[in-house]
Structure 1
């Protein structure tokens, strides 16, 4: 939120975001914008003024977690085995996405090519994990041509496919392990 906004607008934003975090945690990306407005004590137009799209709301709700994953990628860059570092980061992404409703949807690519509506969460992840992936590719640990976008798309698909499973974390982890084996079949994890 821009710092130049009036104090009441900043308070509304903070209140809406706090309510949205709870609603997204309870209902995922399908959280009702109208319910968020009611609970925050503002009109739905106020919610839409601060968050013009559902993606904008999900990105704001996910901001802290995306920043934490970015910091983790930076922490792992240049440490130890490049494949192990990349896989450790990807494990963290899978675990976050499984445990935090709405995060996978915030990362999902929606096919929008307009930079104004670019997926800020995915861009942040690509920037943070780019060095990890480049090093793994240079070391021959990951197939050349694999992109961070490919890996995020894979994780989003796995998380969405397993969200209604009785044990989504275990199922997502299993599917991710199968995908990893496919990335580098000569090097089991």
Structure 2
């Protein structure tokens, strides 16, 4: 267990980097899904370096600040509802021994979060344009979009695994040498 000053400093640095990426989502609207995903990957550093409860505290801090500070509230909402907590929860999900059960839990969590995100966006924030976009795809448009989202989630999950392994093998040894 690291001392408290190290945890606070690392949490502050990662929080600042997460907020910068969330802020950039408002500046570059085309990246409103990619940048919250990158911010979520940054939270994995806290989970690896300190522990997962500290990573959840950092996630809560970034979530509250991103709602207040960032321009793109939709990007902040997708960070809060999925990209912020999933990389941390993934550490617990990876402990499930059966690979099939692990995959089912991951997809179940993703679909619950994404469907909740959709309903919050449409019915609480009143962005009815999303419903009109689904009408263009016809009767099964929402199912097609959910299928595409699940495929992209699979790629994101593989990317998280690659980032985690790369951090452990390449970046972490460099930090360990300097201390």
**TM-score class, shorter:** 0.3 to 0.5
Normalised to the residue count of structure 1, the TM-score between the two structures is 0.40
**Which structure has more helix as a fraction of its residues?**
2
Normalised to the residue count of structure 2, the TM-score between the two structures is 0.42
